[in-house]
Structure 1
């Protein structure tokens, strides 16, 4: 399989037509080798428009979704990043390539091991992979410039928003199937936030995600 041609086709035929037009993002997706983070059984599908299973009921996000997230967040070289849901380590590698450092957390020890091994083999040195429940954020080293929730949340916990720096951006999939909102939240001042729903999709839920209190009469 010609991986370089397949990568080019992914960017030009899937991602760019989905209005991911930021050239820095497109260049990043060309540079970081997705096939290095895909389970061996799915290597030939590394660039397909599908969610690739990685175990523990989780899957890699579709390439178009990854591109939309990166374009929305506008990650800068000086940014500190929290990713919740380490997965295969691929998205952490993308974030690491355009930020200062990334802390990626997963509740599944199997996926912590997978992500850590993939990132180490690929030579990524500015990512810390940790085992833990970060569905409501990760206070260690907070506040962050960027927070990415790589799984679904029924609601955004206030504790999570509080871990954003002023000017910081958070990306999350909010709601429940059949429709989730891909939401960008910007901290515009101390305790003040601006939200924008960018597109709709469905992704696996994060374990232990907080749910809104049941309505009581």
Structure 2
């Protein structure tokens, strides 16, 4: 399979045609090899218009959802970004191509280790990974210009809003354990935030102290 051709087709048919306009983001999705972040047996499906299983009951998000959530962050190139839910590492790779530094938290050790290996294999060295409860954020590295949460939360965790800079953006799926609304919040100078509901979505549940609790 020619992955370069598959990636170009993915961007044209799934990203640009659905209204993603950020030129830097489009270039990042043309550049980052998505097939590196899935199991070898699923590499041929890496550029399909669908989420894919990555083990540990987790998934790599549909390419369009990665693009939409990233575009909503409005990254400039000098940003410090926090990601909650490293998963495969693909979303972190896109962020790392567009931002100055990425801090990403994953609660499942085998996924974090595989993501680290994949990121290193393509030379993305501006990503720091921590194995921890992502719902509490990464306080010692706060504040952040942008925060992205790649799992569905019952509500917007105040702990994460607290770690945003004034003017910072948080993108997070909010709703039930089975379906959510993709939400963007922008933190104001007084510490409050403005909320925009963007689109319906479906993510695995956000597990942790400020999510759906600990996994049984």
TM-score range, shorter chain: over 0.9
In the alignment, does 2:167 pair up with 1:163? no
Q: Which residue matches 1:29? A: 29
**Rounded Cα–Cα distance in structure 1 between residues aligned with 2:75 and 2:42:** 29
- Greater mean deviation of Cα atoms: 38-47 or 133-142: 133-142
CA deviation string 1:147-193 (max 9, x = no partner): 11011101112111111001111110111144311111111213121
Deviation at 1:135, TM superposition (A): 1.4
How much has 1:197 moved relative to structure 2?
1.2
Which stretch has the larger CA shift, 176-185 or 115-124?
176-185
Structure 2 residue aligned with 1:131: 131
Distance, in Å, in 1 between the alignment partners of 2:76 and 2:20 is 17
Residues 64-96 of structure 1 deviation map (CA, whole Å, 9 limit, x = unaligned): 001101111111221101101111111111111
CA distance in 1, matches of 2:32, 2:135: 27
SS in 1 for 2:146: strand
Measure the CA separation in 1 of the matches of 2:123 and 2:27. Answer: 19
> Does the aligned pair in 2 maintain the 1:154–1:209 contact within 8 Å?
no
Q: How many residues align?
A: 212
Structure 2 gaps of 5+ residues are none
Normalising by structure 2, we get a TM-score of 0.94
Moved more, 151-160 or 173-182: 173-182
Aligned with 2:87: secondary structure? coil
Structure 1, 175-184 or 152-161: larger mean CA deviation: 175-184
Long gaps (5+) in structure 1: 213-217
Distance 2:133 2:83 in 1: 12
CA distance in 2, matches of 1:211, 1:85: 12
Runs of 4+ in 1 over 6 A off after TM superposition: none
Q: Call closer, same or farther: CA 1:105–1:139 in 2, change over 3 Å.
A: same
Task: Quote the residue 1:18 is aligned against.
Answer: 18
Q: Distance in 1 between matches of 2:107 and 2:211?
A: 18
Aligned counterpart, 1:65: 65
State whether residues 154 and 177 of structure 2, in contact with CA within 8 Å, keep that contact through their aligned partners in structure 1. Answer: no
Separation of aligned partners in 1, 2:94 and 2:59: 17
In structure 1, what is the Cα distance between the partners aligned to 2:103 and 2:177? 28
For 2:198, the equivalent position in structure 1 comes to 198
Q: CA RMSD in A?
A: 1.4
> Equivalents in 2 of 1:174, 1:209: separation in Å?
15
CA contact (8 A) 1:83 1:103 kept: yes
TM-score using structure 1 length? 0.93
